[in-house]
Every structure is written in C-alpha cells, then in structure tokens.
Structure 1
Amino acid sequence: MKKWFKRAWLLLLTFALTLPLAACSTEKVQTIRLSEVTRSIFYAPQYVALAKGFFEEEGLKVELTTAWGGDKVMTALLSNGADVGLVGSETSIYVYARGSNDPVINFAQLTQTDGTFLVSRNPVDNFSWEQLKGSTFLGQRKGGMPQMVGEFVLKQHGIDPHADLKLIQNIDFANISSAFASGTGDYVQLFEPTASIFEKEGRGHIVASFGTESGFVPYTTFMAKQSFMKNNAETVEKFTRAIYKAQQWVETSPPAEVAEVIQPYFEDTGLDIIETVIERYKSQGSFATDPILDEDEWNNLQDIMDEAGELPEYVEHEDLVNTSVAESILK
C-alpha cells in the first residue's frame, strides 16, 4: 500500500512539474498570419525561411496564405485578417493617401527589382523594344507595381503604352497567364515560374526582363499596421531576423540548392524550372540581401508611380518606412 501511494505521489509530482514547463514552451511560440500577394519563386527567401525553420528558431509559427492580389492583401491587413503582408510598397502609399489613422508600415524589404518578364507569343530574333509598337500587349492591373514598372520601362524606350499599343488591363491578376495561353495578346508581362514554364512548353518566348530595365525599387516588402508593430515590437524583430537569415542563405547558396529547398511550395513546377528561375533572379539582383528599404529606392518607387499617373501624393520615407528594426539586426 505504501509503495503504491509513493509511486502515485511521484507520478503526480512529475505531472505537476511538467505541466508548467509545457505551458511555458507553448507561450513562447507566437503565431503570425502572413498574407502574400501571389505565389512566386520571386519570393524565394520567404519560402527558405519557412522551409529551413528560421521562423521556428525565433519562436514564431507563420501561417501563410496567398491572397492573389495587392488589394486583397491590404484588405486583410486593414481588417485584421492578417498580421503581416508581403506586397508592393505602393499599396501602403494608397492607404496613407486616404487618410488612415493607423498606416501600414514597410519594415522589411524582400525583393529589390521588378520580377516580371516580357514574353512574346512568337519567337523574336534580335529583339528590340521598338517591335512592340502596334502590338496587343496583355498588361497587369492598373495601379499595381507590375503595370507601373512596365509602363515606366516602355516609356524609357520611347513607347507610349496607351497610344502605341493595344493595352489590355481588364483581366484579373490570377487569370492573365491563362488569357495569354488561350490566345489573347501578342506580348504579355509575366512573373516566374509562369514565364519559364510557357517558354519550356512553347507557348511563349522570354525576350526581355523588366527587372534589369527599371533599376532598384522596393518591389515587394513585408508590412504591418503601425499599431501591430508598436504592440508587437519583439515579434516584428524576430520575424525580420528570420527573413535576414534566409536572404543571406539564398545569397550564398547555389541556385540548385535553393530550388531543392523551396520546391515543396511549387509542387507543380519541375525542379529544373525552379533552378533556372532562381539563377535568373539572382543574376539580375532581384533578391534583396538585407531587409533595409533605403530612401533612394523609396524615391525611385514614387518616381515610377508618378510617371504612371498613379502617385496620389508624395510621402516621405520616414512616414511609411521603418528601417530601425532591420538596422538593429544588421548591427
């Protein structure tokens, strides 16, 4: 009887000691709801951070959803349906211009060039931008970064997108590639891996990169409402540190290794295509190597928006960009 009582007492004591430890362990993990604008190899460092456990190392559990559109990401943020958004910085300017009392702040840059490519339906020998004149061009959503950068690049090459082209902009972002595949347009502006898949299947031919033509710009950044950043400063720092680890890993790793790590996020895309895309993006410096969104890039963004007639008002870098978190991590 005494032995049974002693054994039961020891089991009860062990349970009592273990329960608080388990509770503490659970409390250390914070869930972050992350909404990405689309699913693209362009965001490879983000998937590396997820796949290699960099978020977990910081005590974060990231729940990733794909919104399929910048407006949808911003809606999720503003309605508290997401904590962090991965989307073009222009969206934060649009919200700010409407007089938001809780602006959306850019705190970590992921990509630093445009990520789209010009795809021709037919093979083109010795491509020149002049060849686009008179063609039907399947563009991106009006007011979005892809379309604004596209127009900026076209104008740099002496092409008025609204006068020299038959410009189509009324197709939803998620359906642009299928519209081109079904026969709409002579040229289309596509993200990867779609551009390379079309080329491999003979549906189109990559003839130019908008990323190499537009210069450095905060094309895609992580952002959150000002109130979230204020109330979750430590969490934002942990999130940014995980992204920085991933950026450095991608920078120093061969494309084949990066492709293998992120393939689970692109199950319908062959490993060879993923590797090709990674190599292409790395060669043109599309992946930011640190999370800092500097003032020159911010000003270049607003120049592009202004050229496209989409800049509602000029916004100072310090009003919508927080570099203090990224700078402290780099130190």
Structure 2
Amino acid sequence: MSYINKLVIPLALVLAAIAAISAGISLGAAPIPLATVWKILANHVVAGSFTANWPVGRESIVWNVRFPRVLLGGLVGAGLALTGAVLQPATRNPLADPHLLGVSSGAAFGAIIALLHTGMIFGLLTVPLFAFAGALLATATVGLIASMTRSLQADRLVLTGVIVGFFFTGLGNLLVFLGDPRATQTVTFWMLGGLGLAQWSHLIYPAVVLAGGLCYLLPNARLLNAMAMGDETAATLGVPVVRFRLTLFVVSALMTGTMVAFSGAIGFVGLMVPHMVRALAGSDNVRVLPLSALAGGLILILADLVARLAVAPEDMPIGIVTGLAGCLAFLWIMTKSRTGP
C-alpha cells in the first residue's frame, strides 16, 4: 500500500466521522439547521462566540440530548470494533466478536436484575452499574473455569466463553420469566441496544476505558500480528503466548463490559468492522486497530441516526439496524473475497 493511500483512508474516516457527528446532532424528530448546531457547540466551548439568537429548547436538544448521545455512539462503536479487531487474530477465528466471551450475556443478566427486580436504587447509573457488574462476573467465571480446567488455548477459551454466555443467558431468561411482565418491553429494548441512556456524566467511563485499551493495544499491535500466524510461530518470535492472550482477553472483556453497560447488546459492529477495514487497508494490526476504532465509531453513529429517523419520533433499537447492515456487509465481504479485486 502506497504512502498516499496510508494517509487517505484515515483522513477519509476522520472527515466522514465529523460529517456523521454533524448529521447526528442536526437531524431528528425536530431538525435543527447545521449552522445553528455549530454555533451552539462553539458557544459552549468558548462562551460568547456567537449571539444566542436561537430558542432555548434547541440549545437543550443539541447540548443535553443529541451531542452526548452521538459521542456515546462513537465511543461504543469504537470500543466494540477495536475488541473485535483484537479477538479475531488472537483466537485465529474470523467470526470472533466482543460477545464471544460471554461478557454481553453477563451484562444483560445484570441489567435484567436492575430493570425487573431491584429498581433504580442508584438513579440513572443503576442499569450501567449492574450491567458492568454482570459483565465482570461473566469474565471472572470464564477465567475461573479456564484456570481450573487448564483450558488456556484459544479454542478452549472461546468454547468456555460460549458456555458461560449460554449459562448467563439462561439465568437472564429465568429472571425475565419471574419478573413483572409489564417491564419486559424495557428489557427487550435494552437487550437490542440503544443509546438513550447517554448523559454527559456517563461519557467519562467508556472514554477512559477506550483510551486505556488503545494505550495498551496499539504498542502491542506487532505482537498481535505474530499471534495471527499461530501459537508456535508467535512463541518462536518471542511472544509469551498464553500470558499475552489472557491479557488480551481481559482487556477485551473490560472494554466490552463497559460499552455494553451503557448501550445494551449491540451486535455485528465488532464482527463486521474489522473485516471491512482489512478489506480496505490490509491485515497489519498496526493499521487495523486504530482504523477499526475510527470506522466502528462512524458506523454506530450512522446506525443510531437511522434508528432515530426510521420510525421518528420513536427510537428503533439500534441492534436491528446493525444486524441488517451487518448481514449486507458480510455478503459484500464474502463476494469480494471470492471474486478478488
């Protein structure tokens, strides 16, 4: 890949992300002119940048509702896509995604407890806190079973994660069955994914976890390249295979648990985005990891925009949009890989 192409793809993604953020804030059940959107944002960044000649209601929609929602979508999409880009070479499984380790099932289990059985005992943070606790419980269960059975190889860890996922899914379904039937619609909506919980005070959690994940993963991208060639090759190149894979699984579980806690279980982003990036930019994880984060954020912002506009003024669960788009994207990827460039 030429030096120019190496610059063009990241620049195009950044410009597309800016355009998607602008559209995500401007469009909705109550459209707001783009010029007004940027003036409002500028006034909040630098007070007095523009004369406030717009209704207070519009400013509230832009700053308190849509902007944090768009930012949460970008953070969640980036985190899920980055996790998928890590797990696929780490497990040498092209179908690996953030939900592979049972983390999403654990998060759903925690959210169901909060929504149906405990109530909002911690205010608006109740569901994210319980969901994150469930994700940590699922991760700890996978680690405990793997250590007890000495199943530290990639395929055995994946199988353990799948089993734990089914276990927590069963527990969650039992809690739904025993819970208040009138509240099951809320649970269903959360399990299909949505960004309606977005608050400025919430954004710090996914932002810090995503930044921490990037700080660890990007310097180790070349080690991940070695892992993609197989355990024996990686060990020959000096990679501590078992320890490094466990670390990658823990980092991936932490990112997934945090993102799912604030967005619900959103499928296909972590599965399809890394494949799309590799089709455009090659398989070197030095490029795939940051580009997957950029593309994942962009795609989830656009998916949320479609979900908000499709049945406005109601919100469609974002998982429906990503599921349909993901199927079409995979058909394109399969066709491209079969026919060649």
- Structure with a larger share of its residues in helix: 2
* Pairwise TM-score range, normalised by the shorter structure: under 0.3
- Structure with a larger share of its residues in strand: 1
Q: TM-score, normalised by structure 1?
A: 0.25
In our comparison, the structure showing a higher alpha carbon Rg is 1
